[in-house]
Chain A
Amino acid sequence: MIDKALPDSCDLAVIGAGPSGMAAAATAAALGLSTVLLDEQPAPGGQIYRGITETAAATRAALGADYRRGEALVEALVASKTKYSPGSSVFDVSPSGEIAFLAGGRTHLLAAKRILAATGGQERPFPIEGWTLPGVMTAGAAQTLLKQADLVPSGRVVLAGSGPLLWLLAAQILRAGGTISTILDTTPKANWRAALPHLPRFLASPYAAKGLALLARVRLSVKVVSGVTFLRASGGERLREVTYRCGSAEVTVAADALLLHQGVVPSLHMPDTLGCRILWNGEQRAFQPEADEWGATSVAHAAIAGDGAGIGGARSAARRGRLAAWDAAHRLGRIDRAERDRLASDDLAALQRDLAARRFLDVLYEPAAAFRAPTGDTIVCRCEEVRASKIEAAIAQGILGPNQLKFFMRCGMGPCQGRLCGLSVTEMFAQARGVSPAEIGHYRLRTPIKPVTVAEMASLPFGEHADKAVVRL
């Protein structure tokens, strides 16, 4: 399945080998589309099934049954005729759909009739004072270390934030024999009331029983502090202490690791590069590409599947991957519309049901305003080390929005290209001006999607047009 000699053109290029990408590639290849799957990681699985082809038995046991669902997706991918290229980092897509990527230290170009971005999401930025200290990392990062390297947090471990992943990670750490000192739950208490109307649909879904059991198990063995309204990490050269506020009490605890999480948001870099229209999803408080149930976007040749199209979780991601593949086969003339609809009917119905059930989680776990829009000395842009106070002053001076801020302060201009500050900055503008983030907008993203070296950039083909544009004679 790993094909060293990649073609320079194909029917469908799938970017990302998580659940949606794997499902899409296998489905499309089975319908006879020449399919290329490009993925940045060395092995398939994406973030959710990270390391699935390599994990030790004990690690699988700790990760739980849901993780093993990734095995079937990998098997289907391996059995398919997909040309799978791991270690392939896409850094640009031209308006005409030519994909530029790095693999094996070389640049490659791939012309695809259709592109499916299955590029997933990332954890929502969680800017608190001290979040840049070594020893502070995302819950997802700790989970990756568990999956990929059998590493379990040790010493005084503090988990803080809100959302299903935080509790899942807690359970996994405990199953792997790790210990957790404290879980600091930042879920705003007022969210319960807003979430209540959505509770019945959630309770009817398969997530509910599993989730509640998991919560109960964690709460039995770990001290949980609810209603946390303030967090600070401190320690000089590395994390030593975590301070939190709960009610009027401020408490400081010693910590070796602080694992932060407040939800997952779609990754925007690929859809923005593809030229897809980006919308604000108020229910999930995040930007996402405009896409229909087939993943079709505002760009004719580009589609989005998986969490990149709006957070839905791993099972929905696989369904969206298959839907996008059937739609691609239809648009490329392999199957007619009726056949597409027939193939898709079960997944479509299940997808609607699952997304409706998730609504409860979106409302319950919407982070508090204070954790979305940092203030004062807190670093907002980790790359350029831009502090909230500077941004607040610029906003007060009346500057236009995130893009002007980027230019004026270099905020979001570093190697991460605003991935770790984009949402925070938008939220800061929105809160200061009392408007929706939809009115504020987001950073304009720039090629390359991932950094490439000067030499790698120089190895792309150029000809007379470029000579004429660049050489002064």
Chain B
Amino acid sequence: MFRRFTDREQSNVTILVDGRPIVAKATDSVAAAMFAAGIAACRTTAVEDRPRGPYCMMGVCFDCLAVVDGIGSRQGCMTRVRDGMVVETQKGRREIGR
């Protein structure tokens, strides 16, 4: 769906998305890193349990929510990647304690 068209001078970091290592640029948001890796959906919805992916990329739609380092409902488009970050698909509604 997306590909990098140039290689900026930024260090690479590795994050885990649902257990799969993904190489990203240090300036990427979680949502951008996932798109670059071909992942279009980051969660299933709270009502109908349907797959959903980032929509606005500017922090207003709250569709890019994912579990980041064990904490649910983080905005993927507003969260920068960090080496070793663990990202998981958010399944439906939020759970207590995570």
Contacts and interface: CB of A to CB of B under 8 A. Distances in A.
Interface of A: 40-42, 47, 51, 54-59, 62, 122-123, 132-138, 140-142, 144-145, 148-155, 176-178, 237-239, 256-257, 267, 382-385, 414-416, 419-420, 450-451
Contacts of B35: 145, 149, 151
Nearest to B40: A134
B28 A148 contact: yes
Contacts of B47: 384-385
A452 to B, nearest CB: 12
A455 to B, nearest CB: 11
A150 B56 contact: no
Contact of B60 (A133, A137, A176, A416): A416
Query: Which 3 residue pairs across A and B have the least CB separation, nearest first?
Result: A134-B53, A58-B6, A56-B8
A140 B32 contact: no
B1 A382 contact: no
B58 A152 contact: no
Contacts of A133: 51
Given A134-B51, A149-B28, A420-B61, A176 B5 contact: yes
A54 B10 CA distance: 9
A267 B59 CA distance: 12
Q: In this complex, which of B1, B10, B45, B47 has the most chain A Cβ atoms within 10 angstroms of its Cβ?
A: B1
Nearest to A177: B5
Interface in B34-62: 35-36, 40-41, 45-48, 50-62
B56 A385 contact: no
Label chain A's interface by main secondary structure.
loop
A62 B4 CA distance: 13
B1 A141 contact: no
A151 B56 contact: no
A178 B63 CA distance: 25
B8 A420 contact: no
A35 to B, nearest CB: 23
Q: Is the interface of B mostly helix, strand, loop or mixed?
A: loop
Given A138-B55, A149-B27, A382-B55, A122 B60 contact: yes
B20 interface: no
Contact of A149 (B4, B48, B65): B4
Nearest to B24: A149
Given A58-B6, A135-B53, A256 B1 contact: yes
Given A132-B50, A149-B29, A385-B48, A416 B36 contact: no
B95 interface: no
Nearest to A416: B62
B36 A151 contact: yes
B87 to A, nearest CB: 15
Nearest to A42: B80
Contacts of B45: 132, 385
B22 interface: no
B98 interface: no
Contacts of B52: 132, 134
A141 B2 contact: no
A152 B3 contact: yes
Given A51-B27, A141-B57, A150 B5 contact: yes
A141 B36 contact: no
Contacts of A151: 2-5, 32, 35-36
Nearest to A381: B47
Contacts of B29: 148-149
A126 to B, nearest CB: 10
Given A55-B8, A420-B61, A149 B73 contact: no
A47 B51 contact: no
B16 interface: no
A416 B52 CA distance: 14
B48 to A, nearest CB: 5
29 contacts: A41-B78, A55-B8, A57-B6, A59-B6, A59-B8, A122-B56, A122-B58, A135-B40, A135-B53, A137-B55, A137-B56, A138-B56, A144-B77, A145-B32, A148-B28, A149-B28, A151-B2, A151-B32, A151-B36, A153-B2, A178-B5, A237-B51, A238-B53, A383-B46, A385-B45, A415-B62, A415-B73, A416-B61, A420-B61
Nearest to B6: A58
A27 to B, nearest CB: 25
Given A149-B27, A383-B62, 12 more contacts: A47-B58, A51-B27, A54-B27, A140-B56, A140-B57, A149-B28, A150-B5, A154-B1, A238-B53, A382-B63, A420-B60, A451-B73
